[in-house]
Structure 1
Amino acid sequence: MAETAEPQTQQTDDKHAARAERRAAKLARQINTFAEAHGGAEGQLAHLGRMGTRIVLVGEDGGWGDLVAPSYAVAENATRKAGITVHEDFDGEFAAKVRTGPYEWSRMAGIQVGGPSNDKG
């Protein structure tokens, strides 16, 4: 009986690995699309706990966005496939590249210091 459990475990592991590889490839395509739209991109990976890992992207033009990977390993694989520079921290020169507009400032003020409401209703 122990002999049949190992192949099932291997099949399950193979399915999980294949799923993770497909997810990393999809994220890499999304990263590349962002980079093309913004003259290049750099990133930073941030743990979200059980939710996964956030891939924060900053374009050369100051545009920014993020994607969520199901795990840190998938996020690392995606950024490696996309070929972008990944920073350890979101600070210094990297953070200074981000350009925000009135919308972002309004949202941040509403969240942080009782500024305009973020609710639409």
Structure 2
Amino acid sequence: MADSSKRTAKLAREIGDFARRHGGSAEGQIAYVGQTGARIALVGADGTWGDLMAPSMETARQATERAGITVHESFAGEMAEKVRTGPYEWSRMAGIQLGGSTEARPAKRPAGA
């Protein structure tokens, strides 16, 4: 049990740190990923997104509660609309969708830049 409460406390601190770095607040969504545990997807007030892994759904719930963030049932809708992506994410998504490399390439500069 001590490991579980330590992990919960660490995750709560990491969620709080993410929120502070990205506009002062964050929202989350918890997804069960099988024996691996649970994924906590986060979106900061500035639209930056990230995720953390918890060893269980219960640990994820406790950590998000302790961190004081709003947790949504799904990543769709209101939460997804807040996500802001940059060149890195777009190049990775395009590479995956088109069967190309998933390695990010530097963004091309416009002529005259």
User: Please, what TM-score do these two structures have when normalized by structure 1?
Assistant: 0.81
Match of 1:35 in 2: 19
SS at match of 1:34: helix
Matched residue type, 1:52: G
In structure 1, distance between residues paired with 2:29 and 2:91: 24
In structure 2, distance between residues paired with 1:69 and 1:61: 24
**Correspondences of 1:32-71 after superposition (within 5 Å):** 32-39=16-23, 40-71=25-56
- Alignment gaps of 5+ in structure 2: 105-113
Matched residue type, 2:84: R
The number of equivalent residue pairs is 103
Larger-Rg structure: 1
Match of 1:107 in 2: 92
Q: Deviations over 1:10-65 (max 9, x none)?
A: xxxxxxx2211110000000000000011210000011111110000000100010
Identity of counterpart residues, as a percentage? 64
Deviation at 1:90, TM superposition (A): 0.7
Higher relative helix content: 1
Match of 1:18 in 2: 2
- Alignment gaps of 5+ in structure 1: 1-16
Give RMSD over aligned pairs: 1.2
Deviation at 1:113, TM superposition (A): 2.0
